[in-house]
Amino acid sequence: MKLWTVFSLIIIITLCKGNLKMTFEYSESKTLQNKIPAFGTIFVDSTVSLTTCASICVQRKPCQMVFYNAETRICILYDFLVWNGTLMEVSFGYRALRLLNEGNAKCRDVEVWNRAGETCFKQYSSGTWISNIEAKNHCNLMQSSLLVIDTKQKHTFAEKYYRSTSAAPALVGLSDIASEGSWIWENGQPFDSSHWGAEGIDFNNVDITRPGVFSFNADCGWIGIYQNIFMIWDNSCPKTSHWFCAYNP
């Protein structure tokens, strides 16, 4: 799903924090050459080298990508990854580099790294219906658990992912199985509605015309885009087709 063809070039940045040396690797994208994101960029208003630009990204926690123009020496930091649906603008002379890891923390191949959320995640799907328990067991085999979206940053990142990919509605680690109406994340944190807004939540009033919805009486949380709104809603627990696994690298 990502617009990403990687050069063999790897830029390695080493920073010293106290007596601890931390190494950060960047890979360069051939596909994104001469392009910059249309939205969500943060301009560093100074003339810097590529190495310095990458170092600034490392020191800014949300930053995940660098767009750099060697001629103008303009450094652009980007807080998300670029997928097929990300709006891009042509801007000649720019190189695009993606932060691969942070010290020893690194996601597995084809997983998405939400750096500021300290989470690696991936959507999985099944050719047959499975239960939420089976989805959880699959995540456990991958040394992960169902995705938790318990902060505003994780919500923003997940919405950006959905709006920039063709991801299907999917099960996440939220349920009210233990107590009807009390929605709890897999990590024990209660559901915080303030991250979603009034139009982004549809519990106990399921619209079965929505893609991916299978039943009225449901106790598991699903996320997806519906009528151009990034939403979370209650859906079937024993009948799952897509789900997210996540872990802290």
Beta bridge partners of 226: 229
pTM: 0.88
Q: What is the largest CA-CA distance in the chain?
A: 60
Sign (positive or negative) of CA dihedral 106, 148, 224, 66: negative
Q: Which pLDDT tens digit goes with each residue over 9-62?
A: 555 656 555 555 667 888 899 999 999 999 888 888 778 999 889 888 988 889
Main-chain phi, psi angles of 170, to 5 degrees: -150, 155
Least confident span in 33-47, 121-135, 199-213:
199-213
At residue 100, the pLDDT reads: 85
pLDDT over threshold 70, residue 233 = yes
Residue range 188-213: average pLDDT?
Answer: 79
Structure tokens given for 235: 């859906």
Set out the domains of the chain in order of their start, with CATH numbers. 6-99 (3.50.4.10), 112-247 (3.10.100.10)
Cβ of 150: how many Cβ atoms within 10 Å? 19
The residue ranges of DSSP E strands in 18-134, in sequence order, are 20-29, 35-37, 41-44, 65-69, 74-78, 88-90, 94-99, 112-114, 119-130
Helices (H) and strands (E) in the chain, counts: 3, 17
Main-chain phi, psi angles of 242, to 5 degrees: -135, 145
For residue 124, which of 135, 116, 114, 115 has the smallest C-alpha distance? 135
Structure tokens given for 129: 């219906």
